[in-house]
């Protein structure tokens, strides 16, 4: 994706889909598990017998059923565009097997989207990331870095918190959590898909630097997972400042 593009523009360009047709996964689910789910989902759809799946659907509540078999059944039920299938998944998710909570979440989201597409006779887009989202906004983990290796002082922490909050609110984005560790600031944010992220954080960093030019102009951002402090330091040690990507 180019620096001046935003996610909504890219999706609209590719699929011609408006925001109300985009379904964002709200939950934070490991990206590897998501990949596994969609691979299984694709496989079970081959020669799927809707009637047989619905007849076997209640087996999902059998405590003696093996977890691997339940995963397959959940994926099969999710592939049936019938209200009965959704009701079974809805009931299951009221008290899911702890090990299958995330799998069940993906299943009910897929089935809901199938039903909406069928009822509305319109294609729907499912957007999922490792960190999930909030409404039609996506969640991002952001790392800001001080120019020196000195720990941020109380004034600098206040500036980062205040200026980032003000800037993000201008774009209908928000900070859910902010933490400081030495000369590193980490932010958990939710940002609308029609916002160009680089512009947003370039502006936030510039606003902070108006009060002392203490942040580097680059930042780290990911929607895959929360980075641990050790991972951030390892990343910084492997990349020169000028090659950091926003």
- Intervals of the chain under pLDDT 50: 1-4, 241-242, 244-246
Reading the block at residue 153, the tokens are: 């002082």
- Strand duo 137-145 + 133-134: pairing: antiparallel
> Which phi-psi region, left, alpha or beta, contains residue 68 (left: φ > 0; alpha: ψ -120 to 50)?
alpha
CATH number (3.40.50.2300, 1.10.287.3240, 3.30.70.1290, 2.60.40.420) of 133-243 reads 3.30.70.1290
Which residues, 6 or more positions from 136, have their beta carbon under 8 angstroms from its beta carbon?
A: 19, 22, 24, 192, 193
Identify the pLDDT of residue 5. 55
Reading the block at residue 162, the tokens are: 């205040």
CB 174 within 8 A of CB 135: no
In tens, the pLDDT along 109-118 reads: 999 988 988 7
Query: How many residues comprise the chain?
Result: 246
CB 222 within 8 A of CB 140: yes
Reading the block at residue 243, the tokens are: 């090659």
Cite the residue boundaries of each domain of the chain with CATH code 3.30.70.1290: 133-243
DSSP H or E segment with residue 33: helix 31-44
Q: Is the overall model pTM greater than 0.85, yes or no?
A: no
Identify the pLDDT of residue 171. 95
């Amino acid at each position: 994706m180019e620096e001046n593009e935003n996610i909504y523009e890219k999706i609209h360009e590719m699929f011609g889909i408006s925001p109300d047709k985009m379904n964002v996964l709200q939950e934070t689910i490991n990206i590897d598990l998501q990949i596994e789910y969609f691979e299984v989902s694709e496989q079970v759809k081959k020669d799927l017998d809707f009637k047989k799946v619905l007849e076997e659907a209640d087996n999902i509540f059998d405590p003696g059923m093996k977890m691997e078999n339940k995963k397959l059944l959940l994926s099969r039920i999710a592939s049936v565009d019938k209200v009965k299938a959704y009701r079974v998944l809805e009931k299951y998710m009221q008290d899911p097997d702890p090990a299958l909570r995330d799998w069940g979440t993906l299943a009910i989201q897929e089935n809901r989207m199938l039903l909406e597409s069928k009822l509305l006779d319109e294609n729907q887009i499912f957007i999922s990331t490792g960190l999930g989202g909030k409404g039609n906004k996506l969640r991002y983990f952001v790392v800001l870095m001080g120019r020196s290796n000195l720990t941020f002082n109380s004034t600098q922490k206040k500036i980062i918190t205040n200026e980032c909050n003000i800037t993000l609110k201008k774009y209908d984005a928000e900070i859910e959590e902010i933490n400081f560790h030495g000369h590193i600031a980490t932010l958990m944010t939710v940002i609308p898909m029609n916002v160009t992220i680089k512009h947003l954080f370039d502006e936030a960093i510039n606003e902070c630097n108006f009060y002392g030019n203490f942040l580097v102009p680059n930042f780290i951002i990911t929607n895959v997972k929360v980075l641990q402090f050790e991972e951030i330091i390892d990343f910084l040690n492997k990349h020169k400042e000028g090659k950091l990507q926003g």
